[in-house]
Amino acid sequence: MKKIAVSLLLAITFFLEPIRIWGQFEKESELSSRILYETQVEQTQEEQAQEGQSQEEVQDASDAPVQTEAPSVILLEISTGKVLYEKNSQEQRSPASITKIMTLLLIFEELEKGNLTMEEEVTTSAYAKSMGGSQVFLEEGEKQTVETMIKCIVVASGNDASVAMAEHIAGSESEFVKKMNEKANQLGMVHTHFEDCCGLTDSTNHYTSAGDVAIMSRELIGRFPQILEYSSIWMENITHVTAQGTKEFCLTNTNKLVRSYEGCVGLKTGSTSTAKYCVSAAAKRGDIMLLAVVMGAPDHKVRFKDAAAMLNYGFGICNLYVDEDPETPEPAKIGRGVKEEVSCEYKETFRYLDTEGSNLDQVEKRTEYTENLQAPIKKGDVVGKTIYTLDGKEIGTVELVSTEDVRKANFLDYLKKAAKHFGFVK
């Protein structure tokens, strides 16, 4: 009987074991399938997210108002300084010969101070003659006027002319470069450091950004617009007079936009193996002058194409309001002075750049004087402001400044006023 029971138990166990194993297999298979499914879902979601991100990036690029290939660019309107478009404009990059914009700015400042004249002669040193890269082939001891040197720098990008001018102004290129860096600091060019005056060096310590190039370009054009008379020259001959004799040399503008883009009036190009191809291009149409800076373009065609694309965009959207001939403001009332009012004027011309297609004929203005103005008042003191509005929104202000001095009244002045008031004196 025991044998029969044991045999029966073994048979049942033999029969049920495959079922248990199969059930376990099904559970494991179901678990594996679920894990595989969840993994596939996660991967699909990741791929979709990545694809969506890529599509978003592409969409963002296509939504950009200007399509540019160069890695770093900026577009602004010069008179107002309003930035219209930028891409990586604060990125530090090697500037090549657009370095010379700062060199030119310092030259014109020396002219403004009276430390230079356009007719003054500059002698080329052996060191200046030794400059490679772009040059106008000045000989050691050769003399050229400051005006000719400016043309050599801005038109033909002459490294030799740049160094000759730096030495003439500061005694040495290194001393001149100190002045360049000081000026950059004054202008707030926080992404800039110069090592030479022409951009020939490829030192990692010689750098600037598209935004900083725009700052110094705007400063040069705004303060010394005569630079555009030189930067817009397409071709012009200079004369070399040396011990070897006299010969003509043709300066040809490195900025091809001067000839190919309507309204282009400069400003400066640059290229080295490190900097690639750069340009700071100014163009004027009507009352609007734009500046397009391109840095790091892969070739010369791209730098000009990108600059032209930005300029086209800018001219297409810009409308400038200029209060060119405002009425003389009423005098400002003052107290405790020898006079009861002081004449005033606008501190500057008001300009407003619209890019939204607004009707600028609807610009309105009102004047507000500083309350409780008290003598003494000095010429140039702020005595009020004129507020400009468009469609009910303030778009800017211009300060009103005194055009004269008004001293504080003393006892005798009050006595005279009283005498006049009572008719004792006329």
Distance CA(251)–CA(151), nearest Å, equals 8
| b/e sequence 352-390, b meaning 16+ C-beta within 10 Å | bbbeeeeeeeebebebebbeebebebeeebebbbbebeb
Q: Which of 72, 79, 89, 100 is catalytic?
A: 100
Q: Determine contact, residues 353/77, Cβ cutoff 8 Å.
A: yes
Q: Which of 97, 162, 217, 402 is catalytic?
A: 97
Percent helix, strand, coil in the chain, to 5, is 40, 25, 35
In the residue annotation, 157 being an active-site residue is answered as yes
Burial of 334 (0-12, 13-18, 19+ CB in 10 A): buried
Q: Which of 72, 157, 231, 402 is catalytic?
A: 157
In the residue annotation, 217 being an active-site residue is answered as no
Q: How many Cβ atoms are within 10 Å of 169's Cβ, its own excluded?
A: 21
Distance CA(346)–CA(400), nearest Å, equals 5
In the residue annotation, 378 being an active-site residue is answered as no
Q: Determine contact, residues 326/367, Cβ cutoff 8 Å.
A: no
Helix (H) or strand (E) holding 106: helix 100-113
Q: Which of 297, 300, 315 is nearest to 68 (CA)?
A: 297
- Catalytically active residues are 97, 100, 157
